[in-house]
Structures are given as structure tokens and as C-alpha cells.
Amino acid sequence: MKLATISTIVVAHIPTGTLAQARPSDVPRQIYGKVQVIDGTTFEFIKTRQLVRLAGYEAPQLLQNATTEGVTWPVGQVSRAWMILRTLGQNVNCAPVGRDDNKRLIAHCFVGETNLAATAVAEGIGYAFNYPNEPPVRAYFDIERKARGLGFGIWSSPDLSPPWLYNGSPESGEKSDGPTPATQEGLPLPLPVTPDKALSFTQVHGG
């Protein structure tokens, strides 16, 4: 299995007002703090117990396996472990944009300036994917094409089923091959940490 060695994704500006306009009234502007990783796409914030799923991104299901050059590996568990390593001991800064059918928040989430979904797509950990009636993030598909061309992660296993087909029940959404190529200018940036959240960060880390 080949993985990219990208530590951060440099993203261009998208006005925070654009996110605010698309955000329903029952959706908070920002969530910040430590998280428990549930699976490759979903966190639970420790203090508030709010569940958040990454926008525009889908990871292999936990029970899925992949085969690369005759070697079988637990691709679903790898995607979850990747997310744990990215967030362990870190404060995660999420900008919610809506809720899914299960009432979980859908959000763009960051550790520092690292966009977690974009980085996961770039490193072949998961897929660019938009579920119906959710805000699209078309820039992720351009990043995915590069990872696929380089054979990173999931793209090193040619017979791997995407997670929306894994149970034999395809979801109707915008999938990897569908959208027109986009540039990285559409990528979201993290919201600035508000003063009260900055204080919380200082209290956690000391100094």
C-alpha cells in the first residue's frame, strides 16, 4: 500500500460568509475541542457529545478489506486509524454547514490549518463524495484524481468496492467519477478560533 507523504494541504480562501449563508439556523457556526473518532468520517466531541461527519468525504467501511499486490489489509480500520493519529491529542476546529439524515452535523474540520478531509483524499485514505442534498465540495474531486493517478492507498487496490456500494445498496450521490474537474480554489479554510475557545486551548495545554 502506497501512502502520500503530505502533511498539510495548502488551501485558498473561501469567504466565511459563504458558509454562513448555507448554514441552517439550528447548526452552530463553530465547534472546537478534543474528539473521539467513531469511524473514518465521524467524530464525537468529548465535551459536548456532538457527532460530526466530514463534509464532501467518505471513507471505507470499517469491515472492508483491500488487496494490494496480493497483500490483504483492513482498509476500513486503516482509515479510522489514520483519523485517530491526525486528531489524537489535538484540538479539532469544525465549521458545520448542515445536518445529515441522521441529524449528525456535517462540517469542514481542521487540525491547525490542515483540512482533514482534503488531506485524507490526497493521501488515498478515502473518497471525495457528496450525498444528496448536502453542500458539494467539488475541489476534493480534483485532489482525488491526483491520488488515484499515483496509486495512493485505496487506489492501490483495483478491486476495492467504494463504501456506498459495499453493502450492495448504492447511494444516490455525486461519486468519484462524476463531477467536472475543479481547482483547489474551492477548498474551505478553518474559521479563526474565537477568544473563549483560545482560552480553553491555553487551559488544556498550559502556559
Question: How much is the pLDDT for 82?
Answer: 98
Instruction: Give the per-residue pLDDT at 125.
Output: 97
Whether residue 206 is predicted with pLDDT greater than 90 in this model: the reply is: no
170 pLDDT exceeds 50? no
User: According to the model, what pLDDT value does residue 183 have?
Assistant: 38
Write the pLDDT tens digit of every residue in 103-135: 899 999 999 999 999 999 999 999 999 888 887
The ranges assigned to domains in the chain are: 16-202
d(CA 44, CA 146): 30
The chain-wide mean pLDDT, for the chain, equals 79
Q: Which pTM was predicted?
A: 0.75
Neighbours of 4 (CB within 10 A): 16
How confident is the model at residue 9, as a pLDDT? 38
**What's the pLDDT at 179?**
37
Alpha-carbon distances, residue 193 vs 139, 165, 174 (angstroms): 24, 38, 32
Which of 90-94, 125-129, 163-167, 203-207 is predicted with the least confidence, judged by mean pLDDT?
203-207
pLDDT at 11 over 50: no
16-202: what fold? OB fold (Dihydrolipoamide Acetyltransferase, E2P) (2.40.50)
